[in-house]
Amino acid sequence: MGLVKKSRIKSPWVLHYDCTSCNGCDIETLACLTPLYDVERFGIINVGNPKHADILVVTGSVNKRNERVLRNLYNQMPEPKAVVAVGACACTGGIFKDCYNVLGGVDKVLPVDVYVPGCCAKPEAIIDGIMLAASKLEEKAEALKEAKAHA
């Protein structure tokens, strides 16, 4: 089992979904892919397809229109999977919190594993967040297994 655990940590594939971000956090997220930050050294790949992804990276607050999409994407990801909320809006709703159409942070809809604060979040922080989520994958896999055994 050690090998699978190590592999999970070493190969977190990311699906990046922009809810209603102002694009600040998106730019920072994509900046992680540039040679300066080079997330591929950690095995992180932006796969753009929920069926291949391990970690859902969400930027921006959730509103009534995109809640459905967010759930759908999360639902199509295979277990074990984790969610990283990037930026103030994704964590809490940020300055849009009280808008009539905004539900709030990502945790209003999905179980969030890692909150990356900041407006915008710094690339270093985003990478840290994703790696932290990757290290939680094993835990989640164990929990799933136990839940299955109980059921």
The residue ranges that bind another protein (CB under 8 A) are 3-4, 6-8, 10-11, 13, 16-17, 35, 38, 40-43, 46-52, 54, 68-70, 72-73, 75-76, 78-80, 141
CB of 143 to another protein, least distance (A): 13
Task: Please say which residue, 65 or 119, places its beta carbon nearer to another protein.
Answer: 65
Tokens of 151: 């059921």
């979904």: which residue's tokens?
17
Which residue in the block uniquely carries the two structure tokens 């069926």?
A: 51
Question: Given the complex with another protein, which of 17 and 96 has the nearer CB atom?
Answer: 17
Minimum gap (Å) between residue 17 Cβ and another protein: 8
For residue 139 the two structure tokens come to: 């835990």
Residue 3 sits at φ, ψ, to 5 deg, of: -65, -45
Rounded CA Rg of the chain: 15
When the beta carbons of 78 and 111 are compared against another protein, the nearer one is 78
Q: How far is the CB of 125 from another protein (least distance, A)?
A: 20
- Whichever of 75 and 98 has its CB closer to another protein, that residue is 75
Six-digit token pair at 125? 């922080």
Give the Cα separation of 19 and 1 in Å (integer).
36
Q: How far is the CB of 79 from another protein (least distance, A)?
A: 4
Structure tokens belonging to residue 128: 């840290």
